[in-house]
Amino acid sequence: MPVLSVKNIHKTYIDQIGSSTVVLNGVNLDLFSGDFTALMGSSGCGKTTLLKILGTLDKPTLGNVFFSSKDLTTMTKEEQSLLRLNKIGIVFQNSNLLDSLTIEENIVLPMILKGINKKIIKNKLNEMLVDL
Ligand SMILES: Nc1ncnc2c1ncn2[C@@H]1O[C@H](COP(=O)(O)OP(=O)(O)OP(=O)(O)O)[C@@H](O)[C@H]1O
Ligand SMILES: [Mg+2]
Protein backbone atom coordinates (compact mmCIF):
# COMPACT_ATOMS: atom_id res chain seq x y z
CA MET A 1 0.00 0.00 0.00
CA PRO A 2 1.46 3.44 -0.92
CA VAL A 3 2.46 5.92 1.78
CA LEU A 4 1.46 8.74 -0.51
CA SER A 5 -1.14 8.44 -3.22
CA VAL A 6 -1.94 11.27 -5.61
CA LYS A 7 -5.27 10.91 -7.40
CA ASN A 8 -6.14 12.97 -10.43
CA ILE A 9 -4.61 16.25 -9.29
CA HIS A 10 -5.42 19.38 -11.27
CA LYS A 11 -4.09 22.87 -10.54
CA THR A 12 -5.07 26.04 -12.33
CA TYR A 13 -3.78 29.42 -11.20
CA ILE A 14 -6.08 32.36 -11.85
CA ASP A 15 -4.53 35.83 -11.78
CA GLN A 16 -6.08 39.17 -10.79
CA ILE A 17 -7.40 39.89 -14.27
CA GLY A 18 -9.01 36.46 -14.47
CA SER A 19 -6.69 34.76 -16.92
CA SER A 20 -5.94 31.17 -15.97
CA THR A 21 -2.82 29.00 -16.22
CA VAL A 22 -3.41 25.26 -16.21
CA VAL A 23 -0.34 23.74 -14.56
CA LEU A 24 -1.35 20.24 -13.46
CA ASN A 25 -3.85 18.33 -15.51
CA GLY A 26 -4.73 14.98 -13.96
CA VAL A 27 -1.58 13.85 -12.14
CA ASN A 28 -1.56 10.37 -10.57
CA LEU A 29 1.34 9.10 -8.47
CA ASP A 30 1.96 6.41 -5.84
CA LEU A 31 4.98 6.53 -3.51
CA PHE A 32 5.92 3.61 -1.30
CA SER A 33 7.90 3.45 1.94
CA GLY A 34 11.64 3.62 1.21
CA ASP A 35 11.14 5.06 -2.27
CA PHE A 36 13.57 7.68 -3.54
CA THR A 37 11.83 9.51 -6.36
CA ALA A 38 13.10 12.35 -8.53
CA LEU A 39 10.55 14.54 -10.27
CA MET A 40 12.05 15.97 -13.45
CA GLY A 41 10.79 18.42 -16.05
CA SER A 42 11.52 21.72 -17.74
CA SER A 43 11.33 25.00 -15.84
CA GLY A 44 7.71 26.01 -15.29
CA CYS A 45 6.24 22.54 -15.89
CA GLY A 46 4.78 22.39 -12.36
CA LYS A 47 7.26 20.54 -10.12
CA THR A 48 7.09 23.05 -7.28
CA THR A 49 3.33 23.35 -7.70
CA LEU A 50 2.98 19.60 -7.19
CA LEU A 51 5.46 19.56 -4.30
CA LYS A 52 3.56 22.33 -2.52
CA ILE A 53 0.33 20.37 -2.87
CA LEU A 54 1.99 17.18 -1.57
CA GLY A 55 3.38 19.18 1.34
CA THR A 56 -0.03 20.73 2.21
CA LEU A 57 1.25 24.24 1.42
CA ASP A 58 -1.29 24.64 -1.38
CA LYS A 59 -4.54 23.01 -2.42
CA PRO A 60 -5.30 21.38 -5.76
CA THR A 61 -8.11 22.80 -7.87
CA LEU A 62 -9.37 19.23 -8.18
CA GLY A 63 -8.24 15.83 -6.96
CA ASN A 64 -7.03 14.21 -3.76
CA VAL A 65 -3.78 13.35 -2.02
CA PHE A 66 -3.81 10.46 0.44
CA PHE A 67 -1.08 10.20 3.07
CA SER A 68 -1.34 6.87 4.90
CA SER A 69 -4.96 6.73 3.71
CA LYS A 70 -5.88 10.19 5.09
CA ASP A 71 -6.89 12.81 2.55
CA LEU A 72 -4.54 15.81 2.89
CA THR A 73 -6.82 18.01 0.81
CA THR A 74 -9.70 17.84 3.30
CA MET A 75 -7.68 18.13 6.52
CA THR A 76 -8.06 21.18 8.74
CA LYS A 77 -5.19 23.71 8.80
CA GLU A 78 -4.27 22.43 12.30
CA GLU A 79 -4.06 18.83 11.11
CA GLN A 80 -1.95 19.93 8.15
CA SER A 81 0.41 21.88 10.45
CA LEU A 82 0.93 18.83 12.66
CA LEU A 83 1.56 16.65 9.63
CA ARG A 84 4.18 19.10 8.35
CA LEU A 85 5.82 19.23 11.77
CA ASN A 86 5.96 15.47 12.23
CA LYS A 87 5.94 13.75 8.86
CA ILE A 88 6.87 16.00 5.95
CA GLY A 89 10.16 17.76 5.28
CA ILE A 90 10.70 20.12 2.36
CA VAL A 91 13.97 21.76 1.32
CA PHE A 92 13.08 24.61 -1.02
CA GLN A 93 15.15 25.98 -3.90
CA ASN A 94 15.06 29.40 -2.25
CA SER A 95 15.72 27.87 1.22
CA ASN A 96 12.93 29.79 3.07
CA LEU A 97 14.97 30.15 6.25
CA LEU A 98 13.89 32.55 8.99
CA ASP A 99 16.18 35.57 8.70
CA SER A 100 16.01 36.49 12.36
CA LEU A 101 17.37 33.08 13.41
CA THR A 102 20.84 31.61 13.03
CA ILE A 103 21.35 28.53 10.82
CA GLU A 104 21.51 26.39 13.96
CA GLU A 105 18.27 27.87 15.30
CA ASN A 106 16.57 27.31 11.93
CA ILE A 107 17.62 23.65 12.04
CA VAL A 108 16.41 22.98 15.59
CA LEU A 109 13.14 24.95 15.42
CA PRO A 110 10.93 21.95 14.46
CA MET A 111 12.45 19.91 17.28
CA ILE A 112 11.73 22.71 19.79
CA LEU A 113 8.13 22.87 18.54
CA LYS A 114 7.85 19.11 19.11
CA GLY A 115 9.04 19.58 22.70
CA ILE A 116 12.13 17.39 22.29
CA ASN A 117 14.60 17.41 25.19
CA LYS A 118 17.33 20.09 24.87
CA LYS A 119 20.22 17.65 25.22
CA ILE A 120 18.81 15.39 22.50
CA ILE A 121 18.35 18.44 20.25
CA LYS A 122 21.97 19.45 20.82
CA ASN A 123 23.26 15.96 19.97
CA LYS A 124 21.07 15.76 16.88
CA LEU A 125 22.24 19.22 15.73
CA ASN A 126 25.89 18.19 16.10
CA GLU A 127 25.25 15.02 14.07
CA MET A 128 23.51 17.03 11.35
CA LEU A 129 26.24 19.67 11.14
CA VAL A 130 28.85 16.94 10.72
CA ASP A 131 26.79 15.50 7.84
CA LEU A 132 26.67 18.92 6.18
N1 LIG B 1 1.26 31.48 -7.41
C2 LIG B 1 1.21 31.41 -8.74
N3 LIG B 1 0.32 32.15 -9.44
C4 LIG B 1 0.25 32.07 -10.79
N5 LIG B 1 1.03 31.28 -11.55
C6 LIG B 1 1.94 30.53 -10.90
C7 LIG B 1 2.09 30.55 -9.47
N8 LIG B 1 3.07 29.68 -9.12
C9 LIG B 1 3.51 29.15 -10.26
N10 LIG B 1 2.86 29.66 -11.33
C11 LIG B 1 3.05 29.28 -12.76
O12 LIG B 1 2.81 27.89 -12.83
C13 LIG B 1 3.75 27.27 -13.71
C14 LIG B 1 4.49 26.18 -12.95
O15 LIG B 1 5.34 26.76 -11.99
P16 LIG B 1 6.24 25.89 -11.00
O17 LIG B 1 6.92 26.85 -10.08
O18 LIG B 1 5.42 24.82 -10.37
O19 LIG B 1 7.28 25.22 -12.02
P20 LIG B 1 8.61 24.38 -11.74
O21 LIG B 1 8.51 23.13 -12.56
O22 LIG B 1 8.82 24.21 -10.28
O23 LIG B 1 9.73 25.33 -12.36
P24 LIG B 1 11.30 25.51 -11.95
O25 LIG B 1 12.02 24.31 -12.54
O26 LIG B 1 11.70 26.78 -12.62
O27 LIG B 1 11.40 25.56 -10.46
C28 LIG B 1 4.62 28.39 -14.25
O29 LIG B 1 4.05 28.79 -15.48
C30 LIG B 1 4.49 29.48 -13.21
O31 LIG B 1 4.66 30.75 -13.80
MG1 LIG C 1 10.38 24.81 -8.94
Query: Residue 12 phi/psi, 5° resolution?
Result: -125, 125
| Pocket mutation for ligand 1, best pick of 27, 47, 95 (most atoms within 8 Å of C-beta) | 47
Q: Where does 4-86 sit in CATH, by number?
A: 3.40.50.300
**Beta strands 70-71 and 4-14, pairing class:** unpaired
Q: Per-residue pLDDT for 32 more than 90?
A: yes
CB atoms within 10 A of CB 124: 14
- pLDDT, mean of residues 9-28: 96
Q: Hey, where are the domains in the chain?
A: 4-86, 98-132
Which protein residues are within 6 Å of ligand 1, measured from CB?
Answer: 13, 21, 23, 41, 43-49
Given a cut of 90, is residue 44 above it in pLDDT? Answer: yes
Identify the pLDDT of residue 96. 80
Task: Please tell me the distance from the alpha carbon of residue 26 to that of residue 11, in angstroms, as a whole number.
Answer: 9
Q: Whose CA is nearest to atom 2 of ligand 1?
A: 13
pLDDT tier, 92 (very low <50, low <70, confident <90, very high otherwise): confident
Residue whose Cα lies nearest atom 31 of ligand 1: it is 44
Average pLDDT of span 8-24: 95
Taking all residues of the chain, what is their mean pLDDT, rounded to a whole number? 93
Separation between Cα atoms, residue 31 and residue 4, nearest integer Å: 5
- Helix pair angle (118-131, 103-113), 10° resolution: 140
Question: Ligand 1 atom 18: the closest Cα is on which residue?
Answer: 46
